[in-house]
Structure 1
Amino acid sequence: MTGNPFRGAGYLLRGLQMLPEPSLRMFVLIPLLINIVLFSGAIWLLIDQFENWVGYWLAKLPDWLSFLEWLLWPLFAVLVLIVVYYTFTLVANFIAAPFNGLLAEKVEMKLRGQVNSASGWQAALKMIPQALARELAKLRYYLPRFLFILLLTFIPLVNLASPLLWFLFGSWMMAIQYCDYPMDNNRVSFGNMKSLLKSHRLTALGFGGLVQLGMLVPVLNLILMPAAVVGATVYWVEEYAGEADQLMDLR
């Protein structure tokens, strides 16, 4: 694999540094509020229902396996956390998609002075159906892989590798999720976007990996969505935008 994971992680840090800039504040606000509301809801739901959910799955064990309850409790607890984490991340990104696209556009305008799409709030409203369709494309890509790794988690011995698989999968999906906003703005197709990230996979994994870890840090996770959008746009501009004319797919 080619690329540099440290360079990829650096793009998120630069995104965090750019959040307070006055020209971006208005466009950061809506994704920020969406993230705060949904992740606050996820935390409340976990606190309120965590024991019930884990208890429900443990109750499904046959009596002759009850002696394994002490061993399986941590596994079911981790699975509950994973499912809630990924579900709320998907919902947050789906709702915020049009606003994240607009934020990515404003960052690219600031960095390059141009973007290969119509601009402004009216244009953003018109792009809502396209943004949601793009989120559905990500969901179709994401779900089979999520379910496959979830299945591996229940297979003895194989499940020893599941923590690493979950981390790599989450890192890759975070890279796809956030790098897609600036690339979609520049009319790069979903397939071409994946090919671009795969061409320097370690850089993409470094970026997505730090996003994923940041999502686990209380308070920091509330501002990670807009920071990741800004960082991904810097990533696009510095790594790929020079080739935009060749990569553009006029759908």
Structure 2
Amino acid sequence: MNASRDLVAPVTGAAGRFLAGVGLFLRGIGLYLRSPGLMLLGVVPALISGAFFLTAFGALVYFVDDLAALITPFADDWSAAWRGLVQVVAGLALLGLGGLLTVVAFTAVTLIIGDPFYEKISERVEDGLGGTPNAVEVPFWSSLRHSIADSLRLVGLSVAFGVPLFAAGFIPVVGQTVVPALAATIGGWLLAVELIGSPFYRRGLRLPDRRAALRADRPTALGFGVAVFVSFLIPLGAVLLMPAAVAGAALLARRVLGQPITAGTGAGQDGKVTERREAQ
């Protein structure tokens, strides 16, 4: 990992690396739009998963007023104005928690449902950059089992972080400014960890390896993840842009592993870059 870390040593500050991460997602969108086959491969699983999660979130929106009143019984005896204000804040906190859990869970479930499709997209991106260094043969059922286990851990983490954020949502001003930013940051990090699973599995690497690699270039990982998270909050954004996120994640994985993300950059058999590119 030290060698890889040296290969991707940043030449700009944290803000520049964050924007570079956003750029990886935009590059993924570009690859996606230029490849109609990728669009067809990736949209079908996202449609199946998206129909369920959009319905679930729609139900939350529909019943949010009732749920807000249910979780704020302490305000029943307050004046109508104060009771209404508290319930509005509670409703916003519920929607924020629901949005975080929906985006992370949608990504996890969609990747599981469409594993063969998204594996193909990720492989195609890497093949265009010289292939996957140190690739290992991973049996489908073994890969699926590990993917489900890792996804459940990440969804569990989103719940663990989401509950305190929900409680903090009741704090005036902070709950409506700082908390959404924190939710996007945490959600973005979890999405980045989730989405690079496929290229890491191809290299025989697991969840701890993903976390370690992303921590070595955290601003870039966050830039990519936050961009995906925000785009997934747009109506139908998660369904339409899921394949682009997978394509961008293949680029992110190569970057944090010190492998070329620009066609034509040399790489040895051990997967180490022999020429540092400005893009990295």
Return the TM-score normalized by structure 1.
0.79
Quick one: distance in 1 between partners of 2:270 and 2:79? 61
For residues 74-153 of structure 1, the aligned pairs below 5 Å read 74-95=88-109, 96-97=111-112, 98-99=115-116, 100-114=118-132, 116-118=135-137, 123-125=139-141, 127-153=143-169
Quick one: distance in 1 between partners of 2:156 and 2:237? 29
For residues 35-50 of structure 1, the aligned pairs below 5 Å read 35-48=46-59, 50=61
The residue aligned with 1:61 is: 73
Q: What percent identity do the matched residue pairs reach?
A: 20
Quick one: distance in 2 between partners of 1:49 and 1:234? 35
Higher relative contact order structure (alpha carbons within 8 Å, sequence separation ≥ 6): 1
Quick one: distance in 1 between partners of 2:200 and 2:186? 21
Q: Residues 143 and 217 from structure 1, CA distance in 2 versus in 1: closer, same or farther, beyond 3 angstroms? A: closer
Deviates more, 1:74-83 or 1:12-21: 74-83
Task: Kindly indicate whether the alpha-carbon contact (under 8 Å) linking 1:15 and 1:230 is maintained by their aligned counterparts in 2.
Answer: yes
Which amino acid counterpart does residue 134 of structure 1 have in structure 2? D
Query: Residue 113 of structure 1: SS of its match in structure 2?
Result: coil
Quick one: distance in 1 between partners of 2:54 and 2:155? 23
Query: Residue 223 of structure 2: SS of its match in structure 1?
Result: helix
For residues 1-251 of structure 1, the aligned pairs below 5 Å read 2=14, 4-22=17-35, 25=37, 28-48=39-59, 50-59=61-70, 60-62=72-74, 63-65=76-78, 67=80, 68-95=82-109, 96-97=111-112, 98-99=115-116, 100-114=118-132, 116-118=135-137, 123-125=139-141, 127-154=143-170, 159=175, 161-242=178-259
Deviation, structure 1 residue 18: 0.9
Quick one: distance in 2 between partners of 1:29 and 1:111? 22
Q: Residues 136 and 65 from structure 1, CA distance in 2 versus in 1: closer, same or farther, beyond 3 angstroms? A: same
**Count of residue pairs brought into register by the alignment:** 242
Which amino acid counterpart does residue 98 of structure 2 have in structure 1? V
Task: Kindly indicate whether the alpha-carbon contact (under 8 Å) linking 2:188 and 2:229 is maintained by their aligned counterparts in 1.
Answer: yes
Which structure: greater helix fraction? 1
Deviates more, 1:225-234 or 1:160-169: 160-169
Deviation, structure 1 residue 50: 2.4
Gaps of 5+ in 1: none
Q: Residues 40 and 77 from structure 1, CA distance in 2 versus in 1: closer, same or farther, beyond 3 angstroms? A: farther
Task: Kindly indicate whether the alpha-carbon contact (under 8 Å) linking 1:32 and 1:223 is maintained by their aligned counterparts in 2.
Answer: yes
Task: Kindly indicate whether the alpha-carbon contact (under 8 Å) linking 2:97 and 2:165 is maintained by their aligned counterparts in 1.
Answer: no
Deviates more, 1:94-103 or 1:181-190: 94-103
Q: Which structure would you say has the larger Rg? A: 2
CA RMSD between the two structures: 3.1
Deviation, structure 1 residue 12: 0.6
Q: Residues 41 and 182 from structure 1, CA distance in 2 versus in 1: closer, same or farther, beyond 3 angstroms? A: same
Deviation, structure 1 residue 21: 4.5
Post-superposition CA distance 1:7-61 (Å, at most 9, x none): 0000111111111455x825x5354222223334443444455232321331442
Q: Residues 74 and 31 from structure 1, CA distance in 2 versus in 1: closer, same or farther, beyond 3 angstroms? A: farther
Gaps of 5+ in 2: 1-12, 260-266, 273-280
The residue aligned with 2:6 is: none
Task: Kindly indicate whether the alpha-carbon contact (under 8 Å) linking 2:22 and 2:223 is maintained by their aligned counterparts in 1.
Answer: yes
Quick one: distance in 2 between partners of 1:44 and 1:189? 32
